[in-house]
Structure 1
Amino acid sequence: MPKLLSALLLLTLSNALFADERALRFVINDSWSMPLVRIEQGQAVEGILVDLQQRMAAKVGRKAKLLVMPSMRVQHALDTGEIDVRCFVSPNWLNNGHYRYIWSLPFMTQRDLLVGVKPEKLEPEQLLHERLGTVLGFTYPRLDPLFRSGQITREDARTQDLVLRKLSARRYHHAISNELSLQWFNRNQAPNKKLYSLSELASDPVACIVRDAPDVPTMALLRAMVQMKQNGEFEALLARYR
């Protein structure tokens, strides 16, 4: 009987400790749109990143807390340890290091495209004195010299979806979009309203960064992502939104 009582006490304490473990804090950039994420009343409700991050947390026995914030605030939140995991990020996009965080393996490739309202082959360097649809806070390294010289002018919108909607409404002639968002936008467009990829601007591997701290199951999360890659879970998840 004493052994049974000890076992029950140990199980109770283990369950209590598990219940007390806080949710893992993932960041969602409020400039993103479907299929990456759909945001309603400040909450991330569906999309690739919602599915991915909830699955990552579940694999290490935690819940996921999805924190929606402006891109300009993300860096400060990383620096102050307010975020445990940031997904959908590439080293090529960062101006500041994340010395407190460890990179995961890439789970997909993002392709940024020059997009227009009619099919043609066109490179951004061929644009002259145009306003180009871009997302507020997003960086486009290849275009920086063109912006600085005044050859083209950024016209920022708050989200990628708004950039494409303004292009479809002919507010400007060309815009930059990632491939996934362009495909999603075109899904429900009439044939004469579809937008076209004109050339590829950049192709970047996309990964997650995980805070390296005692209160975060850092290595367990990184191992879980390796297993997801090996099991084909990333591709299956992405296929749902293509």
Structure 2
Amino acid sequence: MRFKSFCGALLLVLLPSLGNAAPLRIVLTDSNTMPLAHIQDFQLKGGMLFELGNAIAQEMGRKATFITLPRKRIAQALIDGKADLICNQNQAWLVGPFDWSKNFIPHVELLVSNQNQVRPMQMSELSNIPIGTILGFNYVEMRQQLGNQFIRDDSLGPKNNLLKLNAGHVNHIIIPQYILEYQQKLGNLKVKIHPYLVIKDQPAACAVSRSGQIKLADLNRAITNLEKRNKLKPIFERYR
């Protein structure tokens, strides 16, 4: 009886500490739009990154908190340990001393062109032609193909690039497929477009701060466990 009483008392002591695990601090760029993120008053309220972050946090026994920042401040926030991770990234986009998870987030990057222009069949045909891009984003493949003849026309986010395409300010934009298709469903693409060029088809990952509160092995374990129980695929498919 004394042993059972001791175990009961020990459990009561441990339970509060287990329930008070530090929150999983997930940072994302404030230029994100649906279906990735519904941001209102600088707070993430919904979208794919919201569901994904909450699923990962819950699998790790934590609660997710989301921090929205301008793209150029993301890397420093991770380096300083002010955030634990960012998802839907890759090492070419986000340069820094980070640990990287497995690639598991579907990502297809497209070049979309207005039908009032000759359809480009390859990226090399776009030398010295303005292309709608996102401020602070690193377009590795375009720079490799076009070099100094890659002419950027930066906006704060992909939705702004769609507006520029609609208004005729640019005739070509670079946009992720899931954002294009989601905005098309909402009727936010007003012009007819050519069949698009695929710039990159490579799953994205999460970057982990080396000064944060989690370890890469724990994150990868959580991702693998969620995949085994088929918890991630339905999230991605809801927003495609």
TM-score scaled by length of structure 2: 0.88
Which secondary structure does the structure 2 equivalent of 1:55 belong to? helix
Which secondary structure does the structure 1 equivalent of 2:137 belong to? coil
Specify the alignment match of 1:114 in structure 2. Answer: 111
Which shifted more, 138-147 or 75-84? 138-147
Q: Does the CA contact (< 8 Å) of 2:81 and 2:212 recur in 1?
A: no
Displacement after TM superposition at 1:135 (Å): 0.4
Query: What is the rounded CA distance, in whole Å, between the counterparts of 1:87 and 1:126 in structure 2?
Result: 32
Displacement after TM superposition at 1:20 (Å): 2.8
Of the candidates 201, 216, 219, which is equivalent to residue 217 of structure 2?
A: 219
Query: What is the rounded CA distance, in whole Å, between the counterparts of 2:210 and 2:37 in structure 1?
Result: 26
Query: What is the rounded CA distance, in whole Å, between the counterparts of 2:230 and 2:64 in structure 1?
Result: 22
Q: Deviations over 1:38-70 (max 9, x none)?
A: 111101111111101101010121100111111
Q: Deviations over 1:17-45 (max 9, x none)?
A: 12332211111111221111111110111
In structure 2, runs of 5+ residues without a counterpart are: none
In structure 1, runs of 5+ residues without a counterpart are: none
Q: Does the CA contact (< 8 Å) of 2:158 and 2:175 recur in 1?
A: yes
Q: Does the CA contact (< 8 Å) of 1:30 and 1:68 recur in 2?
A: yes
Q: Deviations over 1:167-191 (max 9, x none)?
A: 1222211111111111111112289
Structure number with higher strand proportion: 1
Q: Indicate the RMSD between aligned Cα atoms, in angstroms.
A: 2.5
**Percent same amino acid at aligned positions?**
27
Specify the alignment match of 2:90 in structure 1. Answer: 90
Specify the alignment match of 1:33 in structure 2. Answer: 33
Query: What is the rounded CA distance, in whole Å, between the counterparts of 1:52 and 1:194 in structure 2?
Result: 33
Q: Does the CA contact (< 8 Å) of 2:110 and 2:175 recur in 1?
A: yes
Amino acid at match of 1:59: E
Which shifted more, 135-144 or 203-212? 203-212
Query: What is the rounded CA distance, in whole Å, between the counterparts of 2:217 and 2:144 in structure 1?
Result: 40
Query: What is the rounded CA distance, in whole Å, between the counterparts of 1:111 and 1:9 in structure 2?
Result: 54
Q: Does the CA contact (< 8 Å) of 2:79 and 2:209 recur in 1?
A: no
Q: Deviations over 1:95-146 (max 9, x none)?
A: 3332xx3x22211332211112229443232125422110011111122267
Q: Does the CA contact (< 8 Å) of 1:111 and 1:200 recur in 2?
A: yes
